[in-house]
Structure 1
Amino acid sequence: MGAFSLSTLALVVLVPLLVWRIYSRVKGVMGRQVSVPSRHWLGVLVCGAALAVSVAEVMGSTTLLGYLALGALFGIGWGLFAFKRTRLFANDEGYFFQPYAPLGIAVAMLFAARILYVGVDLYINQGIPMRVQEPFMHAPLTVAAIAFVAGYFGTISAGLLRWRLLNRQTD
Protein backbone atom coordinates (compact mmCIF):
# COMPACT_ATOMS: atom_id res chain seq x y z
CA MET A 1 0.00 0.00 0.00
CA GLY A 2 3.04 2.27 -0.09
CA ALA A 3 3.56 5.09 2.40
CA PHE A 4 0.03 4.85 3.82
CA SER A 5 -0.87 2.34 6.47
CA LEU A 6 -4.42 1.22 7.04
CA SER A 7 -4.69 3.31 10.21
CA THR A 8 -3.45 6.42 8.37
CA LEU A 9 -6.00 5.86 5.63
CA ALA A 10 -8.71 5.49 8.27
CA LEU A 11 -7.56 8.78 9.82
CA VAL A 12 -7.74 10.54 6.43
CA VAL A 13 -11.30 9.30 6.00
CA LEU A 14 -12.52 9.81 9.57
CA VAL A 15 -11.23 13.35 10.21
CA PRO A 16 -13.44 14.98 7.53
CA LEU A 17 -16.42 12.97 8.80
CA LEU A 18 -15.69 14.12 12.34
CA VAL A 19 -15.40 17.76 11.20
CA TRP A 20 -18.72 17.49 9.35
CA ARG A 21 -20.38 15.94 12.42
CA ILE A 22 -19.06 18.67 14.73
CA TYR A 23 -20.22 21.36 12.29
CA SER A 24 -23.73 19.90 11.96
CA ARG A 25 -24.03 19.53 15.74
CA VAL A 26 -22.88 23.10 16.42
CA LYS A 27 -25.10 24.48 13.66
CA GLY A 28 -28.11 22.73 15.21
CA VAL A 29 -27.45 24.36 18.57
CA MET A 30 -27.45 27.86 17.07
CA GLY A 31 -31.26 28.09 16.83
CA ARG A 32 -33.71 29.64 19.25
CA GLN A 33 -33.05 28.49 22.81
CA VAL A 34 -34.73 28.87 26.17
CA SER A 35 -32.84 31.24 28.46
CA VAL A 36 -32.08 29.38 31.69
CA PRO A 37 -30.19 31.51 34.23
CA SER A 38 -28.51 28.49 35.85
CA ARG A 39 -27.01 27.56 32.47
CA HIS A 40 -25.74 31.09 31.99
CA TRP A 41 -24.19 31.04 35.47
CA LEU A 42 -22.61 27.68 34.66
CA GLY A 43 -21.21 29.12 31.42
CA VAL A 44 -19.66 32.06 33.24
CA LEU A 45 -18.21 29.81 35.97
CA VAL A 46 -16.84 27.14 33.62
CA CYS A 47 -15.28 29.70 31.27
CA GLY A 48 -13.83 31.61 34.22
CA ALA A 49 -12.45 28.38 35.67
CA ALA A 50 -10.93 27.44 32.30
CA LEU A 51 -9.14 30.77 32.19
CA ALA A 52 -8.00 30.48 35.82
CA VAL A 53 -6.65 26.96 35.31
CA SER A 54 -4.93 28.08 32.11
CA VAL A 55 -3.28 30.99 33.91
CA ALA A 56 -2.09 28.67 36.68
CA GLU A 57 -0.75 26.20 34.11
CA VAL A 58 1.31 28.74 32.14
CA MET A 59 2.27 31.03 35.03
CA GLY A 60 6.02 30.54 34.51
CA SER A 61 6.06 31.67 30.88
CA THR A 62 5.48 35.29 29.95
CA THR A 63 5.11 34.28 26.29
CA LEU A 64 2.33 31.82 27.05
CA LEU A 65 0.67 34.33 29.41
CA GLY A 66 0.75 36.81 26.53
CA TYR A 67 -0.92 34.32 24.19
CA LEU A 68 -3.48 33.56 26.89
CA ALA A 69 -4.26 37.26 27.42
CA LEU A 70 -4.44 37.90 23.68
CA GLY A 71 -6.77 34.93 23.15
CA ALA A 72 -9.02 36.01 26.03
CA LEU A 73 -9.16 39.62 24.79
CA PHE A 74 -10.06 38.56 21.26
CA GLY A 75 -12.64 36.11 22.64
CA ILE A 76 -14.24 38.80 24.78
CA GLY A 77 -14.25 41.20 21.83
CA TRP A 78 -15.87 38.63 19.54
CA GLY A 79 -18.31 37.76 22.32
CA LEU A 80 -19.37 41.40 22.67
CA PHE A 81 -19.72 41.72 18.90
CA ALA A 82 -21.78 38.51 18.71
CA PHE A 83 -23.95 39.36 21.72
CA LYS A 84 -24.99 42.64 20.10
CA ARG A 85 -26.30 40.53 17.22
CA THR A 86 -27.95 37.90 19.42
CA ARG A 87 -31.74 37.99 19.19
CA LEU A 88 -33.39 38.22 22.60
CA PHE A 89 -37.07 37.37 23.15
CA ALA A 90 -39.24 37.86 26.24
CA ASN A 91 -42.89 36.91 25.93
CA ASP A 92 -45.65 35.11 27.82
CA GLU A 93 -43.97 31.74 27.14
CA GLY A 94 -40.72 32.80 28.78
CA TYR A 95 -37.29 34.10 27.86
CA PHE A 96 -35.53 32.99 24.69
CA PHE A 97 -32.44 33.88 22.72
CA GLN A 98 -31.00 33.04 19.33
CA PRO A 99 -27.21 33.31 19.16
CA TYR A 100 -25.53 35.00 16.24
CA ALA A 101 -24.78 31.78 14.39
CA PRO A 102 -21.88 32.75 12.07
CA LEU A 103 -19.55 33.73 14.91
CA GLY A 104 -20.67 30.94 17.24
CA ILE A 105 -20.05 28.32 14.58
CA ALA A 106 -16.71 29.88 13.63
CA VAL A 107 -15.48 29.91 17.24
CA ALA A 108 -16.55 26.32 17.87
CA MET A 109 -15.00 25.10 14.61
CA LEU A 110 -11.72 26.93 15.24
CA PHE A 111 -11.48 25.28 18.64
CA ALA A 112 -12.38 21.87 17.20
CA ALA A 113 -9.76 22.35 14.48
CA ARG A 114 -7.07 23.05 17.09
CA ILE A 115 -8.03 20.00 19.13
CA LEU A 116 -8.06 17.84 15.98
CA TYR A 117 -4.65 19.20 15.02
CA VAL A 118 -3.23 18.24 18.42
CA GLY A 119 -4.77 14.77 18.11
CA VAL A 120 -3.42 14.20 14.60
CA ASP A 121 0.01 15.50 15.66
CA LEU A 122 0.06 13.04 18.57
CA TYR A 123 -1.00 10.22 16.24
CA ILE A 124 1.60 11.02 13.59
CA ASN A 125 4.46 11.30 16.08
CA GLN A 126 3.56 8.38 18.33
CA GLY A 127 6.22 6.09 16.86
CA ILE A 128 9.11 8.55 17.03
CA PRO A 129 11.12 7.67 20.15
CA MET A 130 13.46 10.69 20.07
CA ARG A 131 10.68 13.28 20.09
CA VAL A 132 9.96 14.78 23.48
CA GLN A 133 6.24 15.36 23.80
CA GLU A 134 5.38 18.95 24.61
CA PRO A 135 2.81 19.34 27.40
CA PHE A 136 -0.66 20.19 26.08
CA MET A 137 -0.74 23.68 27.60
CA HIS A 138 2.72 24.65 26.37
CA ALA A 139 1.72 25.19 22.76
CA PRO A 140 0.99 28.90 22.19
CA LEU A 141 -1.86 28.28 19.73
CA THR A 142 -3.53 25.83 22.10
CA VAL A 143 -3.33 28.31 24.98
CA ALA A 144 -4.71 31.09 22.77
CA ALA A 145 -7.50 28.84 21.46
CA ILE A 146 -8.64 27.84 24.94
CA ALA A 147 -8.57 31.45 26.14
CA PHE A 148 -10.40 32.61 23.00
CA VAL A 149 -13.21 30.08 23.43
CA ALA A 150 -13.50 30.76 27.17
CA GLY A 151 -13.55 34.51 26.60
CA TYR A 152 -16.16 34.24 23.84
CA PHE A 153 -18.61 31.88 25.53
CA GLY A 154 -18.08 33.47 28.96
CA THR A 155 -18.96 36.87 27.49
CA ILE A 156 -22.08 35.50 25.81
CA SER A 157 -23.17 33.84 29.08
CA ALA A 158 -22.49 37.03 31.07
CA GLY A 159 -24.48 39.07 28.55
CA LEU A 160 -27.43 36.70 28.82
CA LEU A 161 -27.29 36.86 32.62
CA ARG A 162 -27.27 40.65 32.51
CA TRP A 163 -30.21 40.67 30.10
CA ARG A 164 -32.19 38.35 32.37
CA LEU A 165 -31.44 40.46 35.46
CA LEU A 166 -32.49 43.66 33.68
CA ASN A 167 -35.71 42.02 32.42
CA ARG A 168 -36.53 40.65 35.85
CA GLN A 169 -36.44 44.18 37.24
CA THR A 170 -38.86 45.43 34.56
CA ASP A 171 -41.38 42.54 34.87
Structure 2
Amino acid sequence: MDLTTIALLILVPVLAWRIYTRVKSRMERQRSIVSRHYTGLLVFFGMVAVPASEMSDPLAIAALAAGTVAGLALGAYGLRLTRFEETEEGYFFTPNARLGVLIAMALVARVLYLGVLIYANKGSNMPTPRITDSPLTMLTVGLAAGYFWMYSLGLLRWRMKVRNEIGTFKP
Protein backbone atom coordinates (compact mmCIF):
# COMPACT_ATOMS: atom_id res chain seq x y z
CA MET A 1 0.00 0.00 0.00
CA ASP A 2 1.40 3.37 -0.97
CA LEU A 3 1.19 6.63 0.95
CA THR A 4 -1.65 8.12 -1.12
CA THR A 5 -3.83 5.06 -0.48
CA ILE A 6 -3.22 5.31 3.26
CA ALA A 7 -4.04 9.02 3.14
CA LEU A 8 -7.23 8.22 1.24
CA LEU A 9 -8.22 5.61 3.82
CA ILE A 10 -7.78 8.19 6.57
CA LEU A 11 -9.31 11.17 4.78
CA VAL A 12 -12.50 9.56 3.45
CA PRO A 13 -13.98 8.88 6.91
CA VAL A 14 -12.91 12.34 8.08
CA LEU A 15 -14.53 13.89 5.01
CA ALA A 16 -17.70 11.85 5.51
CA TRP A 17 -17.89 12.94 9.15
CA ARG A 18 -17.37 16.59 8.21
CA ILE A 19 -20.10 16.45 5.58
CA TYR A 20 -22.41 14.71 8.06
CA THR A 21 -21.93 17.43 10.68
CA ARG A 22 -22.53 20.12 8.04
CA VAL A 23 -25.70 18.47 6.77
CA LYS A 24 -26.93 17.86 10.31
CA SER A 25 -26.44 21.53 11.20
CA ARG A 26 -28.63 22.48 8.22
CA MET A 27 -31.45 20.33 9.57
CA GLU A 28 -32.14 22.60 12.54
CA ARG A 29 -34.50 25.56 12.89
CA GLN A 30 -34.06 27.83 9.88
CA ARG A 31 -35.45 31.10 8.65
CA SER A 32 -37.72 30.66 5.65
CA ILE A 33 -36.40 32.74 2.75
CA VAL A 34 -38.59 32.63 -0.33
CA SER A 35 -35.73 33.12 -2.80
CA ARG A 36 -34.01 30.03 -1.38
CA HIS A 37 -37.15 27.99 -1.92
CA TYR A 38 -37.31 29.09 -5.58
CA THR A 39 -33.61 28.31 -5.95
CA GLY A 40 -34.21 24.86 -4.46
CA LEU A 41 -36.93 24.19 -7.02
CA LEU A 42 -34.60 25.13 -9.87
CA VAL A 43 -31.48 23.34 -8.63
CA PHE A 44 -33.16 20.08 -7.68
CA PHE A 45 -35.13 20.02 -10.93
CA GLY A 46 -31.81 20.42 -12.73
CA MET A 47 -30.33 17.52 -10.74
CA VAL A 48 -32.85 15.27 -12.48
CA ALA A 49 -33.25 16.97 -15.85
CA VAL A 50 -29.57 17.30 -16.78
CA PRO A 51 -28.56 13.65 -16.21
CA ALA A 52 -31.81 12.43 -17.77
CA SER A 53 -31.07 14.37 -20.95
CA GLU A 54 -27.61 12.77 -21.27
CA MET A 55 -28.40 9.15 -20.43
CA SER A 56 -29.12 6.40 -22.92
CA ASP A 57 -29.23 3.39 -20.57
CA PRO A 58 -32.90 2.55 -19.93
CA LEU A 59 -32.09 0.96 -16.56
CA ALA A 60 -30.32 4.10 -15.34
CA ILE A 61 -33.21 6.28 -16.58
CA ALA A 62 -35.70 4.03 -14.81
CA ALA A 63 -33.62 4.16 -11.61
CA LEU A 64 -33.52 7.97 -11.80
CA ALA A 65 -37.29 8.09 -12.30
CA ALA A 66 -37.93 5.62 -9.46
CA GLY A 67 -35.63 7.52 -7.13
CA THR A 68 -37.32 10.80 -8.01
CA VAL A 69 -40.80 9.39 -7.34
CA ALA A 70 -39.65 7.90 -4.03
CA GLY A 71 -37.97 11.21 -3.14
CA LEU A 72 -41.14 13.14 -3.90
CA ALA A 73 -43.13 10.82 -1.64
CA LEU A 74 -40.55 11.10 1.15
CA GLY A 75 -40.51 14.88 0.71
CA ALA A 76 -44.27 15.03 1.21
CA TYR A 77 -43.88 12.86 4.30
CA GLY A 78 -41.03 15.05 5.56
CA LEU A 79 -43.19 18.15 5.20
CA ARG A 80 -45.78 16.59 7.49
CA LEU A 81 -43.06 16.11 10.10
CA THR A 82 -41.84 19.71 9.78
CA ARG A 83 -42.60 22.31 12.42
CA PHE A 84 -43.60 25.70 10.97
CA GLU A 85 -43.40 28.91 13.00
CA GLU A 86 -44.63 32.45 12.39
CA THR A 87 -42.98 34.88 14.81
CA GLU A 88 -42.37 38.60 15.05
CA GLU A 89 -38.81 37.99 13.76
CA GLY A 90 -40.08 36.20 10.63
CA TYR A 91 -41.01 32.77 9.41
CA PHE A 92 -39.12 29.68 10.53
CA PHE A 93 -39.27 25.95 9.92
CA THR A 94 -37.65 22.98 11.59
CA PRO A 95 -37.27 19.95 9.29
CA ASN A 96 -37.16 16.36 10.44
CA ALA A 97 -33.43 15.94 10.92
CA ARG A 98 -33.23 12.16 10.60
CA LEU A 99 -35.00 11.94 7.28
CA GLY A 100 -33.12 14.85 5.70
CA VAL A 101 -29.73 13.68 6.92
CA LEU A 102 -30.41 10.10 5.79
CA ILE A 103 -31.30 11.14 2.25
CA ALA A 104 -28.45 13.64 1.91
CA MET A 105 -25.89 11.19 3.28
CA ALA A 106 -27.06 8.45 0.91
CA LEU A 107 -26.12 10.73 -1.97
CA VAL A 108 -22.85 11.77 -0.32
CA ALA A 109 -21.91 8.14 0.31
CA ARG A 110 -22.54 7.26 -3.32
CA VAL A 111 -20.47 10.19 -4.59
CA LEU A 112 -17.63 9.29 -2.20
CA TYR A 113 -17.81 5.71 -3.47
CA LEU A 114 -17.45 6.96 -7.03
CA GLY A 115 -14.46 9.05 -5.99
CA VAL A 116 -12.77 6.02 -4.44
CA LEU A 117 -13.61 3.95 -7.53
CA ILE A 118 -12.04 6.58 -9.79
CA TYR A 119 -8.95 6.61 -7.56
CA ALA A 120 -8.74 2.80 -7.58
CA ASN A 121 -8.94 2.73 -11.39
CA LYS A 122 -6.21 5.36 -11.74
CA GLY A 123 -3.36 4.03 -13.79
CA SER A 124 -5.30 1.04 -15.08
CA ASN A 125 -6.89 0.63 -18.48
CA MET A 126 -10.36 0.72 -16.93
CA PRO A 127 -12.52 3.60 -18.15
CA THR A 128 -13.29 6.34 -15.64
CA PRO A 129 -16.85 5.87 -14.41
CA ARG A 130 -19.30 8.70 -14.94
CA ILE A 131 -22.00 9.58 -12.43
CA THR A 132 -24.69 8.57 -14.94
CA ASP A 133 -23.25 5.09 -15.57
CA SER A 134 -24.65 3.38 -12.50
CA PRO A 135 -28.37 2.84 -11.87
CA LEU A 136 -27.71 2.84 -8.11
CA THR A 137 -26.10 6.26 -8.36
CA MET A 138 -29.01 7.54 -10.42
CA LEU A 139 -31.42 6.13 -7.83
CA THR A 140 -29.72 8.12 -5.06
CA VAL A 141 -29.53 11.27 -7.20
CA GLY A 142 -33.25 10.99 -7.96
CA LEU A 143 -34.06 10.29 -4.33
CA ALA A 144 -32.19 13.35 -3.05
CA ALA A 145 -33.40 15.64 -5.84
CA GLY A 146 -37.02 14.53 -5.48
CA TYR A 147 -36.98 14.89 -1.71
CA PHE A 148 -35.43 18.34 -1.60
CA TRP A 149 -37.49 19.56 -4.59
CA MET A 150 -40.71 18.55 -2.87
CA TYR A 151 -39.48 20.08 0.35
CA SER A 152 -38.74 23.39 -1.40
CA LEU A 153 -42.16 23.31 -3.04
CA GLY A 154 -43.86 22.62 0.29
CA LEU A 155 -42.04 25.48 1.98
CA LEU A 156 -42.95 27.80 -0.87
CA ARG A 157 -46.61 26.76 -0.69
CA TRP A 158 -46.60 27.34 3.08
CA ARG A 159 -45.23 30.84 2.60
CA MET A 160 -47.80 31.64 -0.09
CA LYS A 161 -50.59 30.34 2.16
CA VAL A 162 -49.36 32.52 5.04
CA ARG A 163 -49.15 35.52 2.73
CA ASN A 164 -52.74 35.03 1.56
CA GLU A 165 -54.00 34.65 5.14
CA ILE A 166 -52.23 37.74 6.46
CA GLY A 167 -52.43 39.91 3.36
CA THR A 168 -48.83 41.09 3.68
CA PHE A 169 -45.65 39.47 2.60
CA LYS A 170 -42.35 39.35 4.50
CA PRO A 171 -39.41 38.15 2.36
Identify the TM-score tier after normalising by the shorter chain: over 0.9
Question: Where in structure 1 do 4 or more consecutive aligned residues deviate above 2 Å?
Answer: 132-136
Q: One-letter code of the match for 2:97?
A: A
Contact 2:67/2:139 (<8 A) preserved: yes
Match of 1:166 in 2: 161
Deviation at 1:138, TM superposition (A): 1.6
Q: Give unmatched runs, 5+ long, in structure 1.
A: none
Match of 1:15 in 2: 12
Q: Where does residue 146 of structure 1 map in the other structure?
A: 141
How big is the shift at 1:78?
Answer: 1.1
| Separation in 2, partners of 1:153, 1:7 | 35
How far residue 122 of structure 1 moved from its aligned partner, in angstroms, is 0.3
| Match in the other structure for 1:106 | 102
Separation in 2 of the partners of 1:38 and 1:135?
32
* 1:28 maps onto 2:49 in alignment: no
Give the Cα separation in 2 of the matches to 1:61 and 1:15.
Answer: 30
When the two chains are superposed, the root-mean-square deviation of aligned CA atoms in Å is 1.0
Q: Give TM-score scaled by structure 2 length.
A: 0.93
Report the number of matched residues.
166
Instruction: Give the drift of 1:134.
Output: 3.4
Equivalent residue in structure 1 for 2:150, among 137, 146, 155:
155
Are residues 1:81 and 2:71 paired?
A: no
Alpha-carbon separation, structure 2, partners of 1:140 and 1:149: 14
TM-score, with structure 1 as normaliser: 0.93
Q: CA deviation at 1:42?
A: 0.4
Answer whether contact 2:28 2:95 (CA < 8 A) is retained. yes
| Match in the other structure for 2:129 | 134
Over residues 38-82 of structure 1, what are the superposed CA-to-partner deviations in whole Å (9 max), with x where a residue is unaligned? Answer: 100000111112211121011x33212111111101111111111
Q: How far apart, in 1, do the equivalents of 2:91 and 2:76 lie?
A: 20
Q: Structure 1 residue 142: deviation in Å? A: 1.4
* Amino acid corresponding to residue 75 of structure 1 in structure 2: G
2:40 is the counterpart of 1:43: yes
- Note the residue ranges of structure 2 that are not aligned, 5 or more in a row: 167-171
Q: Amino acid of the residue matched to residue 154 of structure 1?
A: W
For residues 21 and 134 of structure 1, do their structure 2 counterparts lie closer, same or farther at Cα, with a shift above 3 Å needed?
closer
